[in-house]
Structure 1
């Protein structure tokens, strides 16, 4: 039986344009031009029309820890539905394990400080957010535009900085092979210095969502 953390990278491993990040600390891939310019433009328009202030699942005392805006894309949106299906095909993960697709918007000076996407098992949020669908497994994140200055994603432990480029996809496994959280996935959505940044994120779970 294949577990939630095993073999899900196999389809993207076989993609001719996908590059594996050469780090022993993190299982991570980069795929340029996953989205077309037209798709990116339409998705940016959707985020612009529907964004709201971003939140975090567990307050840590820092009021400026995450200063972006968030957009929850409707599963009935044609672009969102098509993208969700493509991501599931690319990941090999059943669509039933996918969270709702989410967009993020960053103005100048906005950021999401260093954080992980998994839920800490010893925190109250774990029982609240993981009791049904289980832990987050893979993150698939897509940049929708190039940023004039700043806005990179920094993986400090893995010693990798990813620059925003329209249509670029990055994905990583939030868990180790034994299913425990991988702290090396710590990443920082760095401040935008000039322009604006748009990204889309698809998170996957161990069990069916909902």
Structure 2
């Protein structure tokens, strides 16, 4: 562990399969084959069983801004608990700083338009979401399947597009080196053109969750 609520480049790059995406603007990493096929398939089954329409903080009036479905995963489920431990190991962040693991499901035509994962400090919902656990710090996102067409994650400021691959872990720091939120973390969950897309997301916070 690098510290109860923090990861670091040194820690992440200590794993042989970890790759840092070259950019002076954003700490962005990818780790291929992070999660095995059987675990991915089991998590897809759980998302399919209990997904609901996704929502956003600070409603912007665009009903098509985020059109995916969301699933809150049961922490007592052995598959989910195992992934929680694995993410704690790879991140170096104490699990208490993590939001509950969440799954997302995208059908054809669905997307999450360009957005940041952090809460806007001046946003109307900032105090609601951040009063206790603080701001979001790191994002760890796992693609659970290969998408037939579309469904990439595009970081506009970096001109970097990441294609979904089953088991691939994508990681980024939502802050700049000075600790302020980083607008360069803006990313677009692009429309699925064929098939379906499933991902798991774990967001970490400045302070323990809850």
TM-score (norm 1): 0.96
Q: 1:1-210 residue pairs with structure 2 within 5 A? A: 4=5, 7-210=7-210
Shift of 1:4: 4.8
Instruction: Give CA deviations for 1:19-52 in whole Å, capped at 9, x if unaligned.
Output: 1000111001100000101000000000000100
SS in 2 for 1:127: helix
Q: Distance in 1 between matches of 2:28 and 2:18?
A: 10
| 8 Å contact kept, 2:4–2:97 | no
- Judging changes above 3 Å, is the alpha-carbon distance between structure 1 residues 3 and 23 closer, same or farther for their aligned structure 2 residues? farther
Shift of 1:8: 3.1
Q: Distance in 2 between matches of 1:8 and 1:55?
A: 30
| 8 Å contact kept, 1:54–1:70 | yes
Shift of 1:9: 3.6
Shift of 1:133: 0.3
Q: Distance in 1 between matches of 2:47 and 2:145?
A: 13
Instruction: Give CA deviations for 1:4-26 in whole Å, capped at 9, x if unaligned.
Output: 55x53433211111110001110
| 8 Å contact kept, 1:8–1:93 | no
Q: Distance in 1 between matches of 2:162 and 2:84?
A: 22
SS in 2 for 1:121: coil
- Judging changes above 3 Å, is the alpha-carbon distance between structure 1 residues 44 and 2 closer, same or farther for their aligned structure 2 residues? closer
Structure 2: gaps spanning 5 or more residues: none
Q: Distance in 2 between matches of 1:169 and 1:50?
A: 23
Task: Tell me how large the CA RMSD over aligned residues is.
Answer: 1.4
SS in 1 for 2:12: helix
SS in 1 for 2:44: helix
| 8 Å contact kept, 2:143–2:164 | yes
Shift of 1:141: 0.2
